[in-house]
Amino acid sequence: MSELHHECGIAAVYHLPGEASPMCPDAGPDEISRLIPRMLLDIQNRGQLSAGMTGYNPDRRWILTTHRDVGMVSEVFRLNHKGKAEAVMKKTVGRAAIGHVRYATCGAEDRSYAQPFERKHIQKGKWFSFGFNGQLANYTQLREQLLATSDNHLTCDNDTEIIMHELGRVMSLETPERQIPLAEVWRRVAPKLDGAYSLVMLNAIGEMLVVRDPLGIKPLCWAKEGNLFATASESVALLNLGFRAESVKSLGPGEYISITADGTFKIDRFAPVRSPAHCFFEWIYFANVASTMDDRGVYISRSRLGEELARLETVPIDEDTIVVPVPDTSKAAADAMAYKLRVPSREGLIRNRYSGRTFIEGKASRRQKAEAKYTPLREVLEGKRVLLVEDSIVRSTTMQVLLTRIRELGGAREIHVRVASPPIIAPCFYGIDMSTVGELFAPKFLDQGLLTEAAQDKMAKQLGADSLRYLPVDAISRAIGLKPTELCQACITGQYPTPCGQELYQIALDNTGKSGRTYETATV
């Protein structure tokens, strides 16, 4: 599934007034921002194009200081050079900070699109910085509304800038006598947004706001022990700071956490209670396998998917049959499948972790990168009947390369592809970079949208596999342990949880075969 582009990740820390936290002996209350690079490393899986942070220090001339750039976390924060890393930390040091890792679901791949986005202002309450994870399905509509007035101008082609302008618009209503609290600002902005998001925000007064979209499509975890508060897209970033597991919680859909300048901590709602629509891809692919989100462990969910695959298996099992995962996120499913089938699970593919990111290259280069990314082990694969387990197949380029290399270089006798998810039949408009129907592998093979055995046989032939089998849709909710109505499964069902998402899907169907991302070219 290396063809599927990652989304983004956010993090934030705040040392409330009081003594230094015992969890952070190397970072005093006024230097708690030093924790942000550590947290971003733990969620690097969510975005590898750029990284950044904003630190808050009221004793500094630049109360909010932002450092951001294109590159991995270690590159942006110069973590391999002690002196340069310390220079970055000294520039951004403070008692509160927010951080971000990004992959470009929309917008360009340059420094100006790296987050956090900072908006400077002479009034401290209107000087703010924020990081955003998600995608607005009504981005085009909001953009047109903003540009309808000739006084407005956008410099970036992404929804993060749209949100920044919406926040600034509400803040412009403030008077010297009445500052609008960040929570109230968000209450006024949120009703205009259709889509998925989690967001961390910090202003020059020292107020912090953490929000999760009303459907909880994007994950967001938080913890508070003593004077230390932290939040991140995944629980693993909080556990590795030293928070106890019982202290780590998921922020509820439509909820916010606010911290005022005097340290007042509050959790409240900004949207009515609704049935959630958590993105199921978080459990099967995006999230770190060590994370827990909405009280559901990622590792356990992936293991259950493997058990579902085992129950459906019909290929004859003999002493030459092995299960092989496509590294790395398929391993839990493959191990569980092999255990149920009582056959060995072998690492017949070794991933070269230093081969680079295949998704930032052109089409020809993507194939070449895929060839360099995985090395088949002939001593494991030769003469074997291989059950190759993958998370999902999006565009099929990587899978076709893998099958060719496993057969030619690995010497496998048979290759049976087993996909630990249903076929992707519809685009995502909520933060995963697949927005057109034409780029997807499965839809062209399905018979009126139905996943038949004949359709899977045709797909197997196209890929070069001996057989191909997907999981049914109902297997996802069983594996995760949530009701189907509590999950966003739009990309495997075509049923979207927001109105603009459903409208964009119809536009995507009408535009099948055309180039360009649907949410960048459509008028909703």
- Write out the catalytic residue numbers: 8
Nearest CA-CA partner of 200 in 269, 264, 130, 258: 130
Tokens of 513: 């075969």
CA distance between the termini of the chain = 30
Q: Which of 413, 281, 316 is nearest to 7 (CA)?
A: 281
- How many whole angstroms separate alpha carbon 512 and alpha carbon 517? 11
Question: What sign results for the dihedral spanned by CA atoms 274, 280, 286, 290?
Answer: positive
Distance, C-alpha 183 to centroid of its chain: 25
| Chain position carrying tokens 């005097």 | 262
Alpha carbon distance 335, 345 (integer Å): 6
Do residues 465 and 403 make contact, with C-beta atoms less than 8 angstroms apart? Answer: yes
Strand partners, 53: 67, 99
Residue 326: count of CB within 10 angstroms of its CB: 25
DSSP assignment string, 412-447: -SEEEEEESSPPP-S-B-SSSSB--STT-SSGGGSB
The rounded distance, in Å, linking the Cα atoms of 126 and 149 is 22
Peptide bond into 116 cis (omega under 30): yes
CB proximity list for 235: less than 8 A, separation 6 or greater: 221, 248, 291, 292, 293
Give Cα 179 to chain centroid, integer Å.
34
Q: Is 448 left (phi over 0), alpha (psi -120 to 50) or beta?
A: left
Q: How far apart are CA 268 and CA 464, in angstroms?
A: 53
Under a CB-based contact definition with an 8 Å cutoff, are residues 201 and 209 in contact? yes
